[in-house]
Amino acid sequence: MSSSKALGPISCLVFAAAWPLGHVSADDVASGAVVLSPIQIFADEGVASVPGSATIIDEETIERRRPATTLDMLQSLPGVTITPEDPLGRRPNIGIRGLNPRRSRKMNVLEDGAPIQLAPYSDSSTNYQPAPRRLRRVEAVKGTGTIKYGPQTIGGSVNYLTRNPPFEPQVTVYGAGGNRGFVDSNVSAGGPYGNTGLLLDFIHQQQDGHKRGEEQAINDFMFKSVTDLEPGHRLTFKATAYNENQRGGEAGMNEDEFRNDRRTNFLPNDRFDVERIAGQIIHELHLGNGTSLSTNVYANTTERTSRRQASSSSELLNCTDDALASDFANADQCGNQIRPRNFRVMGVEPSVTHEHHALGYDNRLVTGVRYHEERAIREQFWGDSPSTDFRQCEKEDGSVDCRRDRFDVTATAAFVQNTTRIGDLSVTPGLRFERWKLDVSEQRGDDARETDSRTIDKMLPGIGVNWEGFRRFEIFGGVHRGISPATTDVEPDPEIGNIFEVGVRTTPHALYAGEIALFHVDYRDIIAAEREAGGDIDNFNAGRARMRGVEFTGRVDSWAFYDAPWNVYLLVNGTVLDTEFRADVFDEDEPVLQSGNDFPYAPRYAGYLALGYEIGPFDARIGTQYVGRQFVDNENTRSTTADGTQGRIASYTVIDASMNYQVTPDLRLFVAGRNLADRDYIANREGGITPGVRRQVYGGFDARF
The pLDDT confidence band at residue 503, using thresholds 50, 70 and 90, is very high
Q: Which residue has the higher pLDDT, 396 or 697?
A: 697
Poorest-pLDDT segment among 69-78, 208-217, 667-676: 69-78
pLDDT tens per residue, range 253-298? 999 999 999 899 999 999 999 999 999 999 999 999 999 999 999 9
What pTM does this model have? 0.92
Poorest-pLDDT segment among 22-26, 166-170, 517-521, 596-600: 22-26
Which residues, 6 or more positions from 267, have their beta carbon under 8 angstroms from its beta carbon? 249, 251, 308, 309, 310, 328, 331, 386
pLDDT given at position 510:
84
Checking if the pLDDT of 25 tops 50, the result is no
State the average pLDDT over residues 73-89: 89
pLDDT given at position 571:
95
Checking if the pLDDT of 348 tops 80, the result is yes
pLDDT tens per residue, range 310-322? 999 999 999 987 7
- Alpha-carbon span 225 to 29, nearest angstrom: 13
Q: What percentage of the chain exceeds 90 in pLDDT?
A: 78
Residues 349, 353, 355: CA angle, nearest 5 degrees? 175
pLDDT given at position 62:
94
Poorest-pLDDT segment among 22-31, 101-110, 117-126, 610-619: 22-31
Poorest-pLDDT segment among 136-150, 166-180, 429-443: 136-150
pLDDT given at position 367:
96
pLDDT tens per residue, range 631-664? 999 999 999 999 999 999 999 999 999 999 999 9
Checking if the pLDDT of 627 tops 50, the result is yes
Q: What is the mean pLDDT of the chain?
A: 90
Q: What percentage of the chain exceeds 70 in pLDDT?
A: 92
pLDDT given at position 446:
84
State the average pLDDT over residues 40-50: 65
- Alpha-carbon span 308 to 317, nearest angstrom: 8
Q: Is the dihedral of CA 21, 27, 28, 33 positive or negative?
A: positive
Give the chain's length.
705
Checking if the pLDDT of 37 tops 60, the result is no
Cα-based distances in Å from 642 to 149, 325, 639, 660? 42, 15, 10, 45
Q: Which of 209-213, 356-360, 621-625 has the highest mean pLDDT?
A: 621-625
Poorest-pLDDT segment among 106-120, 206-220, 586-600, 629-643: 586-600
Burial of 435 (0-12, 13-18, 19+ CB in 10 A): middle
Given a contact cutoff of 8 angstroms between Cβ atoms, the answer to whether 313 and 253 are in contact is yes
Checking if the pLDDT of 206 tops 70, the result is yes
The pLDDT confidence band at residue 534, using thresholds 50, 70 and 90, is low
pLDDT given at position 675:
96
- Alpha-carbon span 291 to 183, nearest angstrom: 47
State the average pLDDT over residues 387-403: 93
pLDDT given at position 43:
58
Over the range 631-646, which residues count as b (16 or more CB within 10 Å of their CB) and which as e? bbbbebbeebeebbbb
Report all structural domains of the chain as residue ranges with CATH numbers, in order of start.
3-704 (2.40.170.20)
State the average pLDDT over residues 520-531: 88
